[in-house]
Amino acid sequence: MKKKLSFVLNDRKITLEIAAQEVLLEVLRDKLGVKSPKCGCDRGDCGTCTVLMNGKTVRSCIVLAVEADGQRLTTLEGLMKDGQMTPLQQSFLEHNSFQCGFCAPGVILAATELLERNPKPSGDEIKEAISGNLCRCTGYLPIVEAIANVNNALTPPGRERLGKKVRS
Amino acid sequence: MPILSEFEYFKPSSVREAVRLLSKHKKPAVLAGGTDLINNLKEEIDQPDAVIDIKGIKELSGITYKNGVLTIGAAVTFSELLDSRVIQSRFPVIAEVAKTVGSVGIRNRATMAGNICSAVACADSGPLLAAYEALILVRGSKGKRKVLAAKWFKGNKRTDIKKAELVTAIEIPLPARRHAGCYVKLGRYSGEDLAQASVLILALPGKQYRVALGAVSPVPVRASKIERLLNGQHLSDELIAKCQALIPGLISPITDIRATKEYRSHMCQVMFARGIRAAASRFSGNGPEYGVNLI
Ligand code: FES
Ligand code: FES
């Protein structure tokens, strides 16, 4: 039986009809063409399918699409504004944090959630926050360094996208 | 991997409605955080005819503290437990346990009620609720009942829940005017969900202790024998060694891909020694901060 649902995806209202058993990750990728969430383990272990639901990271491979009804979703695609990266993304770029990049969307969203709650995290807090995001290339060091050295003086379009006021 | 079997999805807004849906269907499944359920649906371990999402039920979503009893609603996530003021101030060991559950993306969805309904032997909430002598609140079409944690767990993935019943909350009584605790968990790496062995200690006034062991038996083990040995005594190295020697007799660990039974049993003893010292020193106000990893 099909269910009608609507949610906000990267500031765009989406309405679609799906079956109750459809998984959010597959709906995002295959039905909506949003390709930043990746399928790594498909069972909640690796974090590559991470999306933000109401500003909090969830693993879209273990969320039913119907659960998104009425919620606000943000994927990596929704962080940039007018082609401008968030300060966090710029830091990842400057630190050359990724190699293959498969883990990157999940890591960036996990770090975005962390910085929302805690703009100046310690090294341990950073490691804890991304501990559920597996990276098979980098050994994590350039990722942790990038998160620790975000230039907060830059305008953070990412924060606006999460519906919070920009702190000046 | 898509979910192949079809089911109906419901999101009731009251417990009554949820219970009605549970009794109406042949094979209903309750969905809270889904971190276990969705995997089970994919693997066809569960093939429900109805999935009942309880996240729309307001009365299941709160953490309250009244008259010395902490009540955790069934839809409360581990992230919410970690952020709760009353838990941080009065039950910091609950936050210590919550912090070891998976990683942020799991904790944002997974619930303690779901954890004890899945009831895998390595569930982090098991030893916690056993040591606190918590009550599981259950609602069915015939009314409510409360089940003591010790009676809740019946075996690996088996609980006392009956057909068409819903866990609505968990009640954790404050065990004393002042208490401290410690949770030590052995995992492969942080961010991985599953304990290979875990030890939960509560330190109460008058040198009273409660000890519970997890992941080393099909159900959490309350180590009353050890408690009797410890209670009222000064915590000496000899006493701790005596308690450690009792551990292998209390547990029945298994060998699987994650650890051998010998390793689990050995580590359980090491973790007990560290945990009891940490709990005791936390009780006297100078122990390691909650949340630090002791192994
Ligand atoms: S693909 Fe979802 S956590 Fe790995
Ligand atoms: S950069 Fe390749 S997995 Fe992280």
Is 50 exceeded by the pLDDT of residue A68?
A: yes
Residues of A with Cβ-Cβ distance to B48 under 8 angstroms:
none
The distance of B65 to chain A (nearest Cα, Å) reads 25
Q: For the purposes of burial, counting CB atoms within 10 Å of the CB of B146, is it exposed (0-12), middle (13-18) or buried (19 or more)? A: exposed
Q: How confident is the model over A53-57, as a mean pLDDT?
A: 97
**Are residue A64 and residue A111 in the same domain, yes or no?**
no
What single letter denotes the amino acid at residue B124? D
Task: Name the H helices within chain B.
Answer: 15-24, 37-42, 78-83, 85-90, 92-100, 104-107, 112-118, 125-132, 149-152, 224-230, 237-250, 261-283
Instruction: Identify the pLDDT of residue B1.
Output: 84
pTM for this model (two decimals):
0.94
Q: How confident is the model over A36-47, as a mean pLDDT?
A: 97
- Domain with residue A130: its CATH number is 1.10.150.120
Residue A23, domain extent: 2-75
Nearest CA to ligand 2 atom 4: A135
Is 50 exceeded by the pLDDT of residue A154?
A: yes
Q: Is the CB of A137 within 6 Å of ligand 2? A: yes
Correct CATH for B180-283 of 1.10.1530.10, 3.40.50.300, 3.30.390.50, 3.30.1600.10: 3.30.390.50
Q: Is the CB of A103 within 6 Å of ligand 2? A: yes
Instruction: Identify the pLDDT of residue A164.
Output: 45
Q: Is A48 on the interface with B (CB under 8 A)?
A: no
Instruction: Identify the pLDDT of residue A80.
Output: 87
Contact B109 A1 (CB under 8 A): no
Instruction: Identify the pLDDT of residue B164.
Output: 94
**Are residue A68 and residue A103 in the same domain, yes or no?**
no
Ligand number nearest to the C-alpha of A25: 1
Instruction: Identify the pLDDT of residue B193.
Output: 66
**Number of domains, chain A:** 2
Q: Is the CB of A42 within 6 Å of ligand 1? A: yes
Q: Strands (DSSP E) along B1-80, which ranges?
A: 8-10, 28-31, 50-53, 63-66, 69-73
Is 70 exceeded by the pLDDT of residue A165?
A: no
Architecture of the domain whose range is B60-173 = 2-Layer Sandwich (3.30)
Q: Which residue of B has its CA nearest to A47?
A: B105
**Are residue A17 and residue A65 in the same domain, yes or no?**
yes
Q: Is B190 on the interface with A (CB under 8 A)?
A: yes
In testing the pocket of ligand 2, which one of A50, A138, A140, A147 has its CB within 8 Å of the most ligand atoms?
Answer: A138
Q: Is the CB of A32 within 6 Å of ligand 1? A: no
Q: Is A64 on the interface with B (CB under 8 A)?
A: yes
Dihedral sign for Cα A20, A107, A101, A79, please.
positive
pLDDT tens per residue, range B55-78 = 999 999 999 999 999 999 999 999
Instruction: Identify the pLDDT of residue B192.
Output: 64
Architecture of the domain whose range is B8-53 = 2-Layer Sandwich (3.30)
Ligand 2 centre and the CA of B105: distance in Å? 18
The low-confidence residues of chain B, meaning pLDDT below 50, are none
The interface predicted TM-score of the complex, written ipTM, equals 0.93
Residues of A with Cβ-Cβ distance to B45 under 8 angstroms:
none
Q: How confident is the model over A35-54, as a mean pLDDT?
A: 97
Q: Is the residue at A156 inside a domain? A: no
pLDDT tens per residue, range A94-148 = 999 999 999 999 999 999 999 999 999 999 999 999 999 999 999 999 999 999 9
Q: Is A3 on the interface with B (CB under 8 A)?
A: yes
**Are residue A18 and residue A71 in the same domain, yes or no?**
yes
